[in-house]
Structure 1
Amino acid sequence: MSLLKKTFQGAIKISIRNYSANTGLIKPPKILITGGLGQLGVECAKHLRGKYGKNNVILSDIIKPSTEIFNDGPYIFADILDFKGLQKIVVDHRVDWLIHFSALLSAIGEQNVPLAVRVNIEGMHNVIELAKQYNLRIFVPSTIGAFGPDSPRNPTPNITVQRPRTIYGVSKVHAELLGEYYHYKFGLDFRCLRFPGVISSDPPGGGTTGILFK
């Protein structure tokens, strides 16, 4: 079993157990994964489809999928900057859970900061507002990049000085705090997990780890 698959099984099983225990799960949830063609989305979809069924997990992105990915299960075009388009997807497909992977990673984000602000911050605003409006459960991964050079190390506490030095890191701190706020203000079921650098058999996706291991 790959390291990436083990990571996702550990990260997502907690939410799965809590959902089943708290709701007396009768039918499987309908799950939408944004930014699904990155290093994380495809593996996540495989795991969730194995548990909830092929047709209950919808991968989405703005690029053309490979034939293999297209044949593995539902795939649709979804632009996270298009709120109305996302709204239509959630309603038409009766989405229950939203897993939000869409982002410009650290290395690419530094090359185009205005675009990174739009994708990483405005896109986050869109999906979290959708989650509130339609009572979705939402998972948004964060990153080790949410910490900065002023953060204490070995061990780094969960609650500490962050001050990241990349727009990707800044956007993830924003996502963490926005999700926490929506939870306390509106009761939104928001989940977040800070991933370390991710290494997989897939090509690098534009993050710092991808640069280090090219």
Structure 2
Amino acid sequence: MPIVRNVSRAVSQLLQSSACGCGVSIVPVRCIGISPRQVASDASFHSVSFSESDHPRVLITGGLGQLGVGLAKLLRYFHLELVLTSTLLGAHFPSGSILLGPFIYSDILDYKNLREIVVNNRITWLFHYSALLSAVGEANVPLARAVNITGLHNVLDIAAEHNLRLFVPSTIGAFGPTSPRDPTPDLCIQRPRTIYGVSKVHAELMGEVRTCLFPLKFWEDFIDL
């Protein structure tokens, strides 16, 4: 599946950069215990720029979702320097591997807090999974518009400011009933009928625009029907 190939490509590059053995001195990795550990987000805030040679330190937004849980488990298996998952305060914690590593409470709409998380934890890679999906989004369009579009722009701005490696997945929902089928090409009429789909088309286009304006290493999935 295209989404699997794109995630695999991003993870492969992440692991290759981790294995290169080059980089600046960093704080020794903290052991991951068997219980969840919340990471402080507001201590010793300072502005820094991150080097491409830094060992990978990963933030996964929307880390309690199905894709976030699986990705965190995979990356922690390879013992990366830091794999930090974020979730909204009050979110339900599923049982399983998500509890085996550091997490932090974060609102994707709180730009200042998100930036502090990136800076204080010296994040170099960001996987952006925070979103309201179709059914929930259609039930609350204003909130979906804020989370899916404003949240994306927050991530794009922070990634550009700190030269992060950024992965933002798209969805089959980015295609609409007028899209050609069997097979659906990557570049075609999309015209989705849900706010979730519209926000993902917006993300695809913003990814293209941002790569022209900033030295931002942005991946965007284009999912076939």
Normalising by structure 1, we get a TM-score of 0.81
Distance in 2, matches of 1:65 and 1:51, equals 23
Match of 1:35 in 2: 62
Q: Answer yes or no: is 1:100 the counterpart of 2:128.
A: yes
- Counterpart in 2 of 1:14? 9
Equivalent position of 2:87 in the other structure: 61
Paired AA for residue 74 in structure 2 = H
Aligned in 2, Cα 1:20/1:74: closer, same or farther, shift over 3 Å? closer
Question: What residue is the counterpart of 1:44 in the other structure?
Answer: 71
Q: 1:143 aligned to 2:185?
A: no
Gapped runs of 5+ residues in structure 1? 1-5, 198-214
Residue of structure 1 equivalent to 2:198: 170
For 1:96 and 1:113, how far apart are their aligned partners in 2?
32
* Alignment-mate amino acid for residue 153 of structure 1: R
Superposition deviation, residue 70 in structure 1: 5.7
Per-residue CA deviation, residues 109-144 of structure 1 (Å, 9 max, x unaligned), is 111101100000000000011000000011111001
d(CA) in 2 for partners of 1:58 and 1:22?
Answer: 18
Contact 2:2/2:221 (<8 A) preserved: no
Residue type of the alignment partner of 1:119: V
1:95-116 deviation per Cα after TM superposition (whole angstroms, max 9, x unaligned): 0000000000011111110110
1:116 match: secondary structure: helix
Q: Deviations over 1:129-185 (max 9, x none)?
A: 100000001111100110111111111110111100000000000001101111111
AA of the residue aligned to 1:47: L
Q: Does 1:116 align with 2:111?
A: no
Output the CA distance in 2 between the equivalents of 1:141 and 1:45.
15
Question: Aligned-pair distance for 1:39?
Answer: 1.2
- Whose helix proportion is higher, 1 or 2? 1
Secondary structure of residue in 2 paired with 1:60: strand
The answer to whether the aligner puts 1:193 opposite 2:193 as a matched pair is no
Amino acid corresponding to residue 218 of structure 2 in structure 1: F
What amino acid maps onto 1:85 in structure 2? N
Offset of residue 13 of structure 1: 2.9
Q: Deviations over 1:10-58 (max 9, x none)?
A: 43331244456679732690000001101111011001111243x6110
Aligned partners of 1:50 and 1:157: how far apart in 2? 35
How much does 1:196 deviate? 7.1
| C-alpha separation in 1, matches of 2:193 and 2:210 | 25
Aligned equivalents of 1:20 and 1:46: distance in 2? 14
SS class of match (1:142): coil
Distance 1:17 1:70 in 2: 21
Structure 2 unmatched ranges of 5 or more: 24-55
SS in 1 for 2:107: coil
- Structure 1 residues 19, 34: closer, same or farther in 2, change over 3 A? closer
Q: Distance in 2 between matches of 1:8 and 1:52?
A: 24
Q: How many residues align?
A: 191
Identity of aligned residues (%): 50
Is the Cα contact below 8 Å between 1:19 and 1:25 reproduced in 2? no
Q: Is the 8 A contact 1:8 1:44 kept in 2?
A: no
